[in-house]
Structure 1
Amino acid sequence: MTEPTPETGLARLEEAEAEVSGRDAGTLRRSEPGPERPGPQRREREVRPHPTPLQYVLIAVILCVVTAIEIAVSYTEGDIPDALIVVLLMGMAVLKFALVAAWFMHLRTDLPIFRRFFVLGIILAMIVYVIALATLNVF
């Protein structure tokens, strides 16, 4: 790696950083160890530690698999009773909602009151869907 010279943007960045932090620009070299960056840990109002990038990728893969299953189920029209298709698709929708809300919206790490609001929301949404589907004689 090249040493920063006055002509490089890196040197100007280090000088600006030094002004803000009140340190000498010469002490801000990449070769020196900086403050330790711990792995996922619990923040002040979190119940569990923050997820790692690997966990996010795993959840994304699970969501892709569930979506593929949903598409496959939707193509079985005629082979499976319509009521069963609706129940399967709604169940997978709830599963995907729960995964997205828990991991990507961080409800898994937040206070339980937020989780309760989202659970109430999905229950109300399912009630509305069932009423709408019953009105359209899907069952």
Structure 2
Amino acid sequence: MATAEQQAHTEEHPTPRTYVNVAIILSIITIIEVAIVIVEVPSVILISSLLALSAVKFAFVVGWFMHLKFDARLYQALFLGGLFLAIAVLLALVALFENFTLPAT
């Protein structure tokens, strides 16, 4: 008779090939990021595209290499809640100090 712990671990785990595919996708995204920086584009497009590509890379790393994709939804919600809170604080601080300059000495 199987114990509860053994039954909990019967779910399918990713194969090494899956991790290789994720690494290839991450490499392609990195190449795209480098190409965007090399090609001269307006700064708004540059920053927004780099942020979007970085968010996609972050999702792949957290989901696959940190195994968050296979954990309970509660763990995902806690992780993403903290992430969104950190982003909100960062954006609030950027907006707060946008026009701040140090006095001349």
TM-score normalised by length of structure 2 = 0.71
CA contact (8 A) 1:43 1:49 kept: no
2:64 corresponds to 1:100: no
Distance 1:61 1:136, change over 3 A: farther
Matched-pair identity in %: 34
Moved runs in structure 1, 4+ residues, more than 3 A?
Answer: 124-137
Report how far residue 136 of structure 1 moved.
Answer: 5.5
How many residues were matched structurally? 93
- Name the structure 2 match of 1:112: 73
Q: CA deviation at 1:75?
A: 1.8
Which residue of the partner structure matches residue 72 of structure 1?
A: 35
> Whose radius of gyration is greater, 1 or 2?
1
Deviation at 1:45, TM superposition (A): 6.8
Determine which of 88, 92, 98 is the counterpart of 1:127.
Answer: 88
Question: Which of the pair is proportionally richer in helix?
Answer: 2
1:49 aligns to what SS in structure 2? coil
* Structure 2 alignment gaps of length 5 or more: 1-5, 100-105
Residues 125 and 96 of structure 1, relative CA distance in 2, 3 Å threshold: farther
Provide TM-score, normalisation by structure 1.
Answer: 0.56
